[in-house]
Structure 1
Amino acid sequence: MSDSQRFPVAAHALAYLAHKGAYGPAQAVPSAILAASVPTNPVVIRRVTGLLARAGLIETRSGASGGAWLLRRPETIRLDEVLKAVHGCAHLGSPPAGAKGCPVGEHIPRQVARALIAADRAAGEALSRITIADLLADNPPSLAGFALPVAAGK
């Protein structure tokens, strides 16, 4: 799975666990069920849930009665934590090295790198104000004023 997909898959999985009330082993949701909701392959879900478990956001159990469940309430799980848990970033790319001897080529990579750091920081700050519970709500204040792109709102 690409780095850019781990975060949305993780957020989706956590929201699904919250929606299903999976707060203990008795309510564990199998990876096949989570995968069907995303939709993706159960192996992808197991990789992501492994990262979320290492971060202390969920617990997992393997086997026929296995699955995943939340260790915290959805209103306490911030999306910046989820992003860090799956080793994601709001990474917009890397500046090219630039051509030696070119005044622009020698200057721009540093400036673009600084701009990317600023964007990453801003994304992290924005995600720190959004919780898994917000993803399940119809109109949470944390997402007020953000319109969906036309293609995403189908």
Structure 2
Amino acid sequence: MSDSQRFPVAAHALAYLAHKDAYDAARACPSAILAASVPTNPVVIRRVTALLSKAGLIATRPGASGGSWLLRQPQDIRLDEVLKAVNGCAHLGSPPQGAKGCPIGEHIPRQVAKVLTLADQAASESLSKITIADLLAEKSTALDGLEPHPACTEAIRAAGAVAA
């Protein structure tokens, strides 16, 4: 799975677990069920849930009777935590090393790395105001006035959703 898909898949999985009231092992949701909701492959879900588990947002149990469940209520899971759990804005890439002896090649990677830090900070600041509960709400003040990202409109259309 590409880095750019980790955050949307993670947010979707957490929202699905909340929707299904999966708050303990008895209500664990198998990766195949989560994968069908996204839709994606269960292996993709297991990779993302491993990251979410490592971050302490969910717990998982392997095996045929396994699955994932939330460790916190959806209103207590901020999207900046989700972004950090799946390695931040890594999908923006990392600067190439640059050519030794070239003044630009030696200077620009360090500067681009600073810009990536700025992007991570801006994303984290914005996402810290939004929770999984906001994603589930039909109307959320945290999302009022926002339009779907232009790159996402095809996915929304394909899912049959109507942008509100």
Same fold? TM cut 0.5? yes
Change (3 A) 1:79 1:149: closer
Residue 133 in structure 1 maps to residue 133 in structure 2? yes
* Contact 1:24–1:69 (8 Å) recurs in 2: yes
Does structure 1 conserve the Cα–Cα contact (< 8 Å) formed by 2:78 and 2:129?
Answer: yes
* Range moving further from structure 2, 144-153 or 106-115: 106-115
1:108 to partner: Cα distance: 5.4
- 1:144 is matched with which residue? 144
CA contact (8 A) 1:83 1:89 kept: yes
Matches of 1:4 and 1:149, distance apart in 2? 14
Give the count of matched residue pairs: 152
Q: Matched residues in 1 for 2:63 and 2:14: separation? A: 20
Deviates more, 1:105-114 or 1:72-81: 105-114
Change (3 A) 1:141 1:100: same
Unaligned runs of 5+ residues in structure 1 are none
Contact 2:59/2:68 (CA < 8 Å) preserved in 1?
A: yes
Mapping of 1:93-104 within 5 angstroms?
Answer: 93-95=93-95, 97=98, 100=102
Alignment of 1:54 onto 2:54: yes
- 2:73 counterpart residue number: 73
Q: 1:45-76, CA deviations, whole angstroms, 9 ceiling, x for partnerless residues?
A: 11111111111111111222211110100000
Matches within 5 A, 1:1-154: 1-89=1-89, 91-95=91-95, 97=98, 100=102, 111-149=111-149, 152=153, 153-154=156-157
- Corresponding letter in the other structure for 2:36: A
Contact kept in structure 1, 2:74 and 2:133, CA below 8 Å: yes
Identical amino acids, percent of aligned pairs: 71
Gaps of 5+ in 2: 158-164
Q: Given the two structures, how large is their TM-score scaled by the length of structure 2?
A: 0.80
Deviates more, 1:66-75 or 1:117-126: 117-126
Q: Deviations 1:94-147 (Å, cap 9, x if unpaired)?
A: 456489356xx7765555443333222111101111111111112211111211
Pairwise CA RMSD:
2.2
Structure 2 counterpart of 1:34, one-letter code: L
With normalisation by structure 1, the TM-score equals 0.85
Determine if contact 2:34/2:42 at 8 Å carries over to the other structure.
yes
Which amino acid is the alignment partner of residue 60 of structure 2? T
Distance 1:128 1:90, change over 3 A: farther
CA contact 1:91–1:116 (8 Å) conserved in 2: no
